[in-house]
Amino acid sequence: MIRKRLASVDDRVIHRLIVEQLVPFSRKFDVSSSATFTEIRKRLNRNVTYVAAKGVRRPFGFITVLRKSRVLYVDMLAIDPREQSRGWGQQLMNVAEAYGNAERCRTVELLVDDSNEKAFRFYVGRGYSVKDYIPEIACYRMTKSLR
């Protein structure tokens, strides 16, 4: 099931997923300062976060988004490798996009590390297109219209 984040139950697992599933792709990422549990929790508290979990148990995936004006930004999406290719990423994206529609967003925007080909293909398959490439952080900026 997809549910809203419960910080006391979910944040340790979300932190582990970030460190194991996202940080390795990010060649321009300063792990020592940005991936600490405290920094991740601050980031999650600024965003809206949904998790994939079996009931209220510990999650095995998450998505965190932030709305600015009419744009929904997907900050992070990660799924435990044992649960990948089972549709959980699709479900999390569906919930995030529905949230964006409810908030009257016109577009969704996200960044994908250029070394993360699997994620890039996932987003293209969901209708996202490359807006530009940001060499300073080695990421593609991808967008999709809502509605």
For the chain, 147 residues long, give each residue's pLDDT as a single digit of tens: 999 999 999 999 999 999 999 888 876 555 555 678 888 898 899 999 999 998 778 899 999 999 999 999 999 999 999 999 999 999 999 999 999 999 999 999 999 999 999 999 999 999 999 999 999 999 999 999 997
- Residue 53 makes CB contacts below 8 A (sequence gap 6+) with 1, 3, 10, 59, 60
Classified by CATH at the fold level, domain 2-106 comes out as: Aminopeptidase (3.40.630)
- Contact by Cβ (8 Å): 120, 83: no
Considering only CA atoms, which of 82, 69, 66, 79 is closest in space to residue 122? 79
Q: What is the largest CA-CA distance in the chain?
A: 41
Q: What is the pTM of this model?
A: 0.90
Q: State residue 28's pLDDT score.
A: 58
* Ranges of each domain in the chain: 2-106
